[in-house]
């Protein structure tokens, strides 16, 4: 790959993305089953699945989604929650009680497709690998280039005896996520000038504090009481309320 300057930001170009663009990091186990259920439903709404995660006690089924251009509005979250609820009720893929949360990926988002990387060039990310590269499975650095098959980063965690540039095959990625920085917040706010939220409160939607709703099980547990709530500059969370 040719070397490129690392001050390229997501605002420097419009990234064309396809709704069918595959993810290079996917779930396993119950998460994979949920992903197979929800992906076609989201696609019918013009949305792409970003991540499925089951976490917490009581359990929360967290579904991150967005439009191919990286946007996700409250109306999209509401539509997705309304469409997914009966499908999940019918298939019932998760044992035990749980609640449904639908959100955008947030500012410090997971990077699961090449188009995510292209929009994030010049920003800082944490990378985890399935297999070591140069003896390491974790890297922190600036996203420099996202080629057809490999990612190039300028390392911020390199020791004096280590190379400061590394190339990583997408097939080796276990997890990739943007790091919340002032530059990232500025770019996010530029992308949506109408958002009136304190940037110091930025962060991943799933980590935002909120009251725990009552957890129920059985048909209708994701009923029409669902309401959307903005929780971060780029994150939306939908929770079931009584």
CATH of the domain at 37: 3.30.300.70
Where is the domain boundary, 137, 153, 183?
183
Shared domain for 47 and 164, answered yes or no, is no
| pLDDT over 70 at 196, yes or no | no
Q: What is the pLDDT of residue 14?
A: 62
| pLDDT over 80 at 79, yes or no | yes
More reliable by pLDDT, 136 or 212: 136
Shared domain for 76 and 48, answered yes or no, is yes
Shared domain for 91 and 50, answered yes or no, is yes
Grade residue 216 by pLDDT with cuts at 50, 70 and 90: very low
Shared domain for 58 and 126, answered yes or no, is no
Q: What average pLDDT does the segment 66-88 reach?
A: 95
In a domain? residue 59: yes
In a domain? residue 154: yes
Grade residue 205 by pLDDT with cuts at 50, 70 and 90: very low
Q: What average pLDDT does the segment 122-145 reach?
A: 96
| pLDDT over 70 at 241, yes or no | no
Shared domain for 34 and 104, answered yes or no, is yes
Grade residue 150 by pLDDT with cuts at 50, 70 and 90: very high
Q: What average pLDDT does the segment 53-68 reach?
A: 93
Shared domain for 62 and 177, answered yes or no, is no
DSSP track, the chain: -----TT--GGGSPPP--TTPPPSS---HHHHHHHHHHHHHHHHTT-EEEEEEEETTTEEEEEEEE-TTS---HHHHHHHHHHHHHHHHHH--S-S-EEEEEE---SS-B--SHHHHHHTTTSEEEEEEEEEETTEEEEEEEEEEE-SSEEEEEESS--TTS-SEEEEEGGGEEEEEE---HHHHHHHHHHTTT----GGG---GGGS--PPPPP--STTTT-TT-EEEEEETTEEEEE---
In a domain? residue 85: yes
In a domain? residue 68: yes
In a domain? residue 75: yes
In a domain? residue 160: yes
Shared domain for 138 and 101, answered yes or no, is no
Domain around 224: 29-108+205-239
Kindly report the average pLDDT of the chain as a whole number: 80
> Model pTM?
0.76
Shared domain for 42 and 152, answered yes or no, is no
Q: What is the pLDDT of residue 49?
A: 98
Domains in the chain: how many in total?
2
More reliable by pLDDT, 203 or 27: 27
Q: What is the pLDDT of residue 91?
A: 92
Shared domain for 173 and 209, answered yes or no, is no
């Amino acid at each position: 790959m040719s070397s490129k300057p690392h001050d390229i930001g997501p605002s420097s170009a419009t990234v064309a993305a396809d709704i069918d663009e595959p993810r290079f990091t996917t779930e396993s186990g119950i998460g994979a089953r949920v992903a197979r259920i929800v992906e076609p439903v989201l696609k019918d709404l013009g949305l792409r699945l970003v991540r499925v995660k089951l976490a917490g006690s009581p359990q929360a089924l967290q579904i991150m989604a967005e439009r191919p251009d990286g946007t996700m509005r409250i109306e999209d979250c509401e539509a997705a929650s309304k469409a997914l609820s009966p499908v999940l009720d019918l298939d019932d893929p998760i044992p035990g009680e749980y609640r449904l949360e639908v959100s955008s990926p947030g500012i410090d988002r997971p990077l699961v497709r090449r188009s995510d990387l292209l929009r994030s060039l010049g920003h800082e990310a944490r990378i985890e690998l399935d297999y070591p590269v140069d003896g390491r499975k974790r890297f922190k650095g600036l996203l420099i280039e996202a080629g057809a098959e490999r990612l190039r980063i300028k390392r911020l965690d390199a020791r004096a005896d280590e190379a400061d540039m590394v190339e990583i095959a997408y097939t080796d990625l276990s997890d990739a996520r943007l790091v919340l920085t002032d530059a990232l917040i500025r770019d996010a706010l530029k992308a949506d000038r109408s958002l009136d939220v304190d940037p110091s409160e930025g962060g991943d939607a799933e980590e935002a504090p909120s009251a725990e709703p009552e957890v129920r099980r059985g048909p209708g547990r994701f009923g029409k009481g669902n309401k959307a709530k903005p929780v971060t500059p780029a994150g939306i969370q939908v929770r079931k309320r009584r």
